[in-house]
Amino acid sequence: MSDRDTRHQQAMRKLKSHVDEKVANATEQRGLLLVFTGNGKGKTTAAWGTVTRALGYGYKVGVVQFIKGLWECGERERLVEDANLEVAIMATGFTWDTQNREADTQACQAVWADAERLLADPDVYLVVLDEITYMLKFGYLDIATLTRALNNRPSEQTVIITGRNAHRELVEMADTVTEMQEVRHAFNNGLQARRGIDF
Amino acid sequence: MSDRDTRHQQAMRKLKSHVDEKVANATEQRGLLLVFTGNGKGKTTAAWGTVTRALGYGYKVGVVQFIKGLWECGERERLVEDANLEVAIMATGFTWDTQNREADTQACQAVWADAERLLADPDVYLVVLDEITYMLKFGYLDIATLTRALNNRPSEQTVIITGRNAHRELVEMADTVTEMQEVRHAFNNGLQARRGIDF
């Protein structure tokens, strides 16, 4: 075996023993709270990737979309015929299109009722609260209401929260937090959003 | 209208005009190169979310997985019956399990042939090169070979590259780069990876 091969094998063994140790230490089993935040592309997309994954094993999934827009439709189209998927969408356009605080608060509260029902249902394995961070920021939904529902949810249920500027309390509660940081975005360099890629 | 409502409406109008301006400036239409990198959870998941999205519109998609493991199976299960999806998987376990540089290089080159074919096919709307960054890092694949295939691909084709430590040349070439940063990961706090969520 060459020197390079030997060094490679040693490096891989070290990596493997590191991974094995982590696996051995991971003994707790329960539903997780995941937060995908930051200003970069991929938050809602990663949530839908997880939805696809959970549906692949036959689990029940609920997705609540707090900002309905032109974006993020392809995955709904692909998955919506699945009997294990329920999608609830806030009955308003992008909030900066409607520009009406009272109507948006009502629309948020109406779809939050769906979220609360899903968060109380032990048959639902995964709940996605897509873009809910903006509801907190705009004052359409109370952080205490959200954290209470999260704390009281069935122990086997995983919840994914997406959106920029996740509330400090959510970040502290969460088991896994990923900050998706924009290094570069095509949209800012004059490239049009693409069907099937961006929405 | 209350002062608070008026302030909210003004803030939303400003946000809307900012978004409208960006939309107006985005005039170029072509396939994109997206890089999902960083040490956080969500890179492969976001890629699969985009795959689901593109399939939702009936586009052809190719996924090449350069590290085959126990992870990331639920989404394959869910989507693999779709005639528009082709999945090619590197015929080896996690590289730190095999620890054999020569065998891994051969396995990489074999699946790279599938990637090259997909990257040359104008009927394929989206190609995912999942975890390919590690192939460059371990020296199983040459950066020049990869960038040549990317530069020569059909202009309407979008490519997603995932993996930690994306090569500088890839970051420079890319239209959109997201750095998924780990703020916290459940696995490191003793929580087991969950079926349908983590894999």
Q: Report ipTM for this prediction.
A: 0.71
Interface test with B, best of A17, A34, A170, A178 (most B CBs within 10 A): A178
Please list, in sequence order, all residues whose beta carbon lies within 8 angstroms of the beta carbon of residue A140, skipping any fewer than 6 positions away: A104, A105, A108, A109
Q: In this complex, is the C-beta atom of A188 within 8 Å of any C-beta atom belonging to chain B? A: yes
Residue B199 has pLDDT above 60, yes or no: yes
What is the overall mean pLDDT for chain B?
Answer: 87
pLDDT value of residue B9 = 78
Element (H, E) at B183: strand B176-184
Residue A43 pLDDT level (bands cut at 50, 70, 90): very high
Highest-confidence range of A90-104, B4-18, B23-37, B40-54, by mean pLDDT? B40-54
Helix ranges (DSSP H) in A57-192: 74-79, 95-98, 101-119, 132-137, 143-151, 168-173
Residue A20 has pLDDT above 60, yes or no: yes
Respond yes or no: is residue B6 known to be catalytic: no
Residue A70 has pLDDT above 50, yes or no: no
Residue B119 has pLDDT above 60, yes or no: yes
Residues of B in contact with A190 (CB under 8 A): 25-28
Nearest to B179 among A43, A102, A181 (CB): A181
Residue B73 has pLDDT above 80, yes or no: no
Respond yes or no: is residue B53 known to be catalytic: yes
> Worst-scoring range by mean pLDDT, A9-18, A93-102, A125-134, A153-162?
A93-102
Q: Which of A72, A75, A86, A131 is catalytic?
A: A131
Residues of A in contact with B50 (CB under 8 A): 45, 49, 197
In a domain, B153, yes or no: yes
Helix ranges (DSSP H) in chain B: 3-25, 43-56, 74-79, 95-98, 101-119, 132-137, 143-151, 168-173
pLDDT value of residue A34 = 96
Average pLDDT over residues A36-53: 92
The CA distance from B91 to the nearest CA of chain A, in Å, is 18
In a domain, A21, yes or no: no
pLDDT value of residue A132 = 96
In a domain, B20, yes or no: no
Residue B12 has pLDDT above 80, yes or no: no
Highest-confidence range of A5-14, A186-195, B56-65, by mean pLDDT? B56-65
Q: What pTM does this model have?
A: 0.78
pLDDT value of residue B97 = 60
In a domain, A3, yes or no: no
Q: How many CB pairs under 8 A join A and B?
A: 271
In a domain, A190, yes or no: no
Average pLDDT over residues B123-138: 95
In a domain, B105, yes or no: yes
pLDDT value of residue A101 = 82
> Worst-scoring range by mean pLDDT, A133-137, B55-59, B80-84, B92-96?
B92-96
Average pLDDT over residues A94-109: 76
Beta strands in chain A (DSSP E): 33-37, 60-65, 85-89, 124-130, 158-162, 176-184
Respond yes or no: is residue B45 known to be catalytic: yes
Respond yes or no: is residue A60 known to be catalytic: no
Please list, in sequence order, all residues whose beta carbon lies within 8 angstroms of the beta carbon of residue B170, skipping any fewer than 6 positions away: B33, B35, B133, B143, B146, B147, B161
Domain count of the fold of chain B: 1
Residues of B in contact with A57 (CB under 8 A): 74, 77, 195-196
In a domain, A14, yes or no: no
Average pLDDT over residues B65-91: 78
pLDDT value of residue A95 = 54
Highest-confidence range of A3-17, A57-71, A162-176, by mean pLDDT? A162-176
Residue B72 has pLDDT above 90, yes or no: no
A39: left (phi over 0), alpha (psi -120 to 50) or beta: alpha
Q: In this complex, is the C-beta atom of B144 within 8 Å of any C-beta atom belonging to chain A? A: no
> Worst-scoring range by mean pLDDT, A35-44, A144-153, B13-22, B171-180?
B13-22
In a domain, B56, yes or no: yes
Respond yes or no: is residue B52 known to be catalytic: no
pLDDT value of residue B149 = 98
- Amino acid identity, residue B91? A
Q: In terms of residue numbers, what domain contains A163?
A: 31-181
Residue B17 has pLDDT above 80, yes or no: no
Domain CATH code at residue A162: 3.40.50.300
Separation between Cα atoms, residue A76 and residue A71, nearest integer Å: 11
> Worst-scoring range by mean pLDDT, B97-101, B135-139, B148-152, B186-190?
B97-101
